[in-house]
């Protein structure tokens, strides 16, 4: 089975146009014709998998403090849209279950990034993948990615037949060994500071190269010329146009 990787993957939905990691952001991406989205999953204090990026609530909600210290019931009282614009006031942080339902209905592929709060690397992967496994059955439209090697190792143990993606920002000397050990299907790197040689090294491993977070059309075209397969972007329409327009 081979991944049907699209050229464009909506980063946290389409977070240039709607609050990141929300149902509204996913719908916005779908309305733009995006085929896959990338979303972050972490756990509440009582172990409910939610779609959220930061370790703290402050940047994207009207709450304060650590996500790992708030219960799901209290989280539901928070508002997660007005920080982005008044038009999104009142929207909520979604659970993984709510988001999966939405993705299946819209026939969207998913790159689920395991984004654990510190110390919850194994637990987050176990719980998230347990929830996912109950309803998600299209292996060609799913990547489980993480910067956390423990999370990927856990994914390998509990859902070995799902594709895994190794996220790199720093490049440890042993990254090729890690990719091999974790039996990854893709390598995801920071496209804004990756070097051509690094991209070519990934290609030499016969693995697809995915770059985040690319919002500049010129950078997207440069990376495409190096052989990058897919682009995570906040502005899918802009990058889509850049990559499919002949200049």
Cα–Cα distance list, 69 to 34, 57, 79, 99, 156 (Å):
34, 10, 17, 22, 28
Q: What is the pLDDT of residues 120-144, one digit of tens each?
A: 999 999 999 999 999 999 999 999 9
CA 29/CA 37 separation, integer angstroms: 8
Backbone angles phi, psi at 198, to 5 degrees: -65, -40
Domains of the chain: 8-244 (3.20.20.190)
11 labelled catalytic: yes
pLDDT in tens, 139-191: 999 999 999 999 999 999 999 999 999 999 999 999 999 999 999 999 999 99
**Active-site pick, 53, 64, 139, 247:** 53
For residues 191 and 198, what is the distance between their CA atoms, to the nearest angstrom? 11
Q: Considering the candidates 11, 131, 149, 188, report the single residue annotated as catalytic.
A: 11
**Res. 247: pLDDT tops 60:** no
pLDDT beyond 80 at 233? yes
pLDDT over 70, % of the chain: 98
What are residue 170's phi and psi, to 5 degrees?
-75, 160
Span 61-90, average pLDDT? 98
Instruction: Please indicate whether residue 139 is annotated as part of the active site.
Output: no
């Amino acid at each position: 089975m081979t991944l049907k990787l699209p050229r464009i993957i909506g980063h946290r939905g389409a977070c240039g146009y709607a609050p990141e990691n929300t149902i509204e952001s996913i719908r916005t991406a779908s309305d733009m014709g995006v085929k896959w989205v990338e979303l972050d999953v972490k756990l509440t204090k009582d172990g409910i998998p939610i779609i959220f990026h930061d370790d703290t609530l402050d940047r994207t909600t009207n709450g304060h403090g650590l996500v790992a210290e708030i219960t799901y019931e209290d989280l539901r009282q928070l508002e997660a849209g007005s920080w982005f614009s008044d038009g999104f006031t009142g929207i909520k942080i979604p659970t993984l279950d709510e988001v999966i339902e939405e993705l299946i209905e819209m026939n969207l592929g998913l790159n689920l990034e395991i984004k654990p709060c510190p110390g919850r690397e194994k637990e987050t992967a176990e719980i998230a993948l347990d929830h996912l496994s109950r309803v998600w059955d299209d292996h060609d439209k799913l990547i489980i990615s993480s910067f956390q090697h423990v999370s990927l190792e856990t994914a390998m143990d509990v859902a070995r037949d799902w594709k895994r993606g190794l996220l790199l920002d720093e490049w440890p000397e042993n990254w090729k060994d890690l990719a091999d050990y974790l039996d990854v299907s893709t390598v995801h790197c920071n496209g804004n500071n990756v070097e051509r040689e690094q991209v070519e090294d990934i290609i030499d491993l016969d693995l697809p190269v995915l770059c985040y977070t690319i919002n500049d059309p010129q950078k997207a075209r440069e990376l495409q010329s190096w052989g990058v397969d897919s682009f995570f972007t906040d502005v899918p329409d802009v990058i889509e146009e850049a990559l499919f327009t002949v200049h």
